[in-house]
Structure formats: C-alpha cells, structure tokens
Copies of this chain bind each other. A is one copy, B any other.
Amino acid sequence: MAKVYESILVSKPDAVPTPDCGLWTLDCLAMKAHRVREEIMYTGEQLRSLWIYRTFGVEGDAIAWFAGPCDVSGEALVDQVDAAAKDSIRAARMMHFVVEHFSGDLNHAILRQRLLVCMAAEVLRAEISGLRRVGDDLFVGEKKLSVSIATASPVSNLIHLAVNIDPTGAPVRACGLQEFGVDPWRFAERLVAAYVAETERMAKARCTVRGVP
C-alpha cells in the first residue's frame, strides 16, 4: 500500500484517489501469526532478534509456531536460574511459540509472557482438568506441561513458550498434550488467535483512555 502511495505521490500526483468516505485507513504493520509446517528442533538459537523475519520473511511484531523436539542446555540457556543449576530443557516433541515485539522493554516482555501463559491455560482448561498456572509454568497436578522464557534483544523483545506434546526425555516430572487427547495444532491456533486479538484490544485501550491527575 505504501508503494502505491509513493509512486502516486512522486510521479502521478493527479491520480491521488479521493476517499469516498471521511475515514480512510491504510494497511499497517499489524502483528502477524505464522504457522511453520516443517518440524524444527528448538535449541535456543531461535530466540534471537529477527529470527522470524530471516527464516520466514515475516516482518514486524509476530508470533511463529511449530512442532519439534527441544534440547537447550549450557550456554544456550537464557534463564540464568537454569544455567546456575546446570539444568537443561528437553522433550521429545513440543509445540513451540516464538514471539517477537519491536516495542517496549524487558518488563513489557515479561508481562506479555505471563499473559500468554494465562491464555494458554484459558484455552486448555476445558480439555485438561487439574491444569494450573504458576508464574510462567503450566502444571497438571505435580507434572510440568510447559517451559517459557522472556528476554530482550538489541532491537526487540522475545518470548519462547513451549508446551509438551510428548514429554519423553524431560529432566523433571512432566506430562504432554498427547496424553490428554488435545490436538496440538488446534490448541496452537486458538492460543495464537487469542493472543493476537488481545494485543490488538490492548492497543485500542491504550488509545482511548484519558490520563488522571
């Protein structure tokens, strides 16, 4: 759309369309959702700035999701609590979400992450009884269902959330969507739709509130 206006502006000034109505909305860089059909092993390398753009050509704030094994350890750990404990993050197959926002700071990223995890619980609750959220983790009983981290890059903020499909290999007691009969792709699409809609709704709320003294 921008291109259209550029060429109009510069070379065919007479052709600027007069909008029919008073309100005239152009496309913008909306948050995008990108489903990756191939399996990807998550190793922590995916949690870096512009990984979504470089890998899939999707520009701007985005959430990408894919299924695949998980194996993060040593230097690749971003959470220094895990690193200090020499923990690793492993599972045979998880549904991974990588989120990148190009505005805000690390506190925003952590708040958005908590909201994303809350929403994952909202989506899953009907299908998994006994599901509970503790901070950025999901549990069923004492078994861990998910892992998550939020961090900052030089140009953006990033979130990784992964929900076990098959928890085999996890270093702690864990469970997976498979054993609860949850379709991981259906779950993912509902979570993504909800997160993108919530992001949009918060953007509108930001622009329709007055300050107070």
A binding-site residues for B, Cβ under 8 Å: 1-2, 5-6, 8-10, 13, 16, 18-19, 22-37, 47-50, 53-54, 56-61, 78-81, 83-84, 102-104, 106-108, 110-112, 114-115, 118-119, 121-123, 125-126, 132-136, 149-156, 158, 186, 189-190, 192-194, 196-198, 200-213
Contact = CB atoms under 8 A, between A and B. Distances in A.
B30 A210 contact: no
A6 B26 CA distance: 24
B26 A136 contact: no
A22 B152 CA distance: 26
A28 to B, nearest CB: 3
A60 B204 contact: yes
A49 B213 contact: yes
Contact of A107 (B132, B197, B206): B206
Contact of A28 (B34, B203, B210): B203
Contacts of A125: 125
22 contacts: A5-B193, A5-B197, A6-B134, A24-B34, A26-B197, A28-B200, A29-B200, A29-B203, A48-B213, A49-B212, A53-B84, A53-B207, A60-B204, A78-B210, A81-B208, A108-B111, A115-B118, A135-B198, A135-B202, A151-B211, A154-B154, A154-B210
Given A16-B193, A28-B30, A108-B111, 19 more contacts: A1-B197, A5-B194, A6-B194, A8-B193, A10-B134, A13-B123, A13-B126, A22-B35, A25-B32, A26-B33, A28-B29, A60-B207, A81-B208, A110-B206, A135-B198, A136-B205, A154-B154, A154-B210, A155-B211
